[in-house]
Structure 1
Amino acid sequence: MSEFKREDRYIVIKRSDLKKVPVSYRSSLVEPMFSLLSHLPRRECLVIESDWPEYESYWQMIERRMTGQPPVTAAEELEAVQHWRGKHALAVRERDALQQRLNAADQRIDELTAQQAESRMITLSGCEFSEHELLRTAVRMVTGTSRRGTLRWVAMKDAFCCGSGVAHALCRRFGFDPDETVKP
């Protein structure tokens, strides 16, 4: 028996997609298509979109029928269900993990925004700066002392005469990677 090949034999347009066709095209494309239907044989079809979990299993069923193989067994069907159930569970776990990261990032943004709003204003040489602005600029502009570069938190520790915990916290507060290498 010859090798099974999927064929592009039908033109299918989803009704909800027709509603998205601009009005200016409807009279020239959509309406003539409906009049064409009266000249074609009536067919009833089952359409399964490629993003549906059943898509590949139905292709497998059609391929088996066309190549003379026996239909899918209950065991194979169960295996397919378990496969997709596993994929679904993995996707749910990944989604939940991403949601937690997003929530943490939103909370961090809220904290930083609140800190920035609470920052006092300082006037230096007639120019006004917020404490937040000055600290952020210092963290951003800190440079290393070695030709090969210095970790940002080490440069912060040296610049602010503070411990490693405070240096790390300053970097993170202003959105910088403490372990980033800064050049002299």
Structure 2
Amino acid sequence: MSEFKRERRYLVAKVRDVEAALSDDDKRQLSALMDKVEHHREQQGKPPLECVVVESDWPNYQETWDSVQEVWEANQGKA
């Protein structure tokens, strides 16, 4: 069995940070790029991507990682 390893699998931008850091043009470009990615998922027959994000300073951050690891370990060998 392989070992559980945390990976950077998603790109996440907090809305508040986007609003503060990007110009109106940057925000339009970001929106257009996200639309392209969503359209690609749709073309591949995939549902819209829905995720839960837990920031590292939240008290349930480690608990969330532990839960993800438990699910991963339970699914090893089921492929």
Going from structure 1 to structure 2, the CA distance change for 1:11 and 1:22 (only over 3 Å counts) comes to closer
Contact kept? 1:2, 1:67, Cα under 8 Å: no
Q: What stretches of structure 1 of length at least 5 have no aligned partner?
A: 70-184
Matched, 1:62 2:68: yes
Q: 1:39 aligns with which of 32, 36, 40?
A: 36
Q: Distance in 2 between matches of 1:30 and 1:8?
A: 23
Q: Which has the higher helix share?
A: 1
Q: How big is the shift at 1:32?
A: 1.0
Q: Which string of whole-angstrom CA distances, capped at 9 and with x for unpartnered residues, describes residues 140-167 of structure 1?
A: xxxxxxxxxxxxxxxxxxxxxxxxxxxx
Query: Of the two, which has the highest radius of gyration?
Result: 1
Give the aligned partner of residue 6 of structure 1.
Answer: 6
Q: What stretches of structure 2 of length at least 5 have no aligned partner?
A: 42-47
Q: Percent identity?
A: 35
- Which structure has the higher relative contact order (CA within 8 Å, separation 6+)? 2
- TM-score between both structures, scaled by the size of structure 2: 0.73
Task: Tell me how many residue pairs correspond in the alignment.
Answer: 66
Q: Distance in 2 between matches of 1:16 and 1:49?
A: 14
Q: Which has the higher strand share?
A: 1
| SS at structure 1 position matched to 2:51 | coil
